Amino acid sequence: MLDSTIRNLIDPFLNKVAAKLVKFGVTANALTATGLVFSIFAFFAVAHQQYVLTILLIILSRIMDGLDGPLARQTKATDFGGYIDIVFDFIFYSGIVFFFAVGHPSFALPAAFLIFSFMATGSSFLAYAIVAAKHGMNHEKQGKKSFFYLQGITEGTETIFVLVLICIFPSYFDWIAYVFAALCWLTTIGRVRQAALDFKDV
Cβ proximity of 100 and 165 under 8 Å? no
Average pLDDT, the chain: 87
Q: Has residue 199 got a pLDDT over 70?
A: yes
Handedness of CA 58, 61, 67, 72 (dihedral sign): negative
pLDDT in tens, 65-118: 989 888 988 887 788 988 999 999 999 999 999 999 999 999 999 999 999 999
Q: Has residue 153 got a pLDDT over 80?
A: no
Residue 49 exposure: Cα atoms within 13 Å on the Cβ side? 7
CA separation for the pair 21, 15 (Å, rounded): 10
Q: What is the pLDDT of residue 144?
A: 47
| DSSP letter string, 151-195 | --SS-HHHHHHHHHHHHHSGGGHHHHHHHHHHHHHHHHHHHHHHH
pLDDT in tens, 115-141: 999 999 999 988 888 888 787 775 544
Using only C-alpha atoms, what is the Rg of the chain? 17
Choose which CATH entry (1.10.240.10, 1.10.10.10, 1.20.120.1760, 2.40.110.10) describes domain 3-199.
Answer: 1.20.120.1760
Q: Has residue 146 got a pLDDT over 70?
A: no
- Within 10 A of 16 (CB to CB), how many other CB atoms are there? 11
- Within 10 A of 179 (CB to CB), how many other CB atoms are there? 13
Cβ proximity of 156 and 85 under 8 Å? no
Domain boundaries, the chain: 3-199
Contacts of 183 (CB under 8 A, 6+ apart): 153, 154, 158
CA separation for the pair 79, 194 (Å, rounded): 26
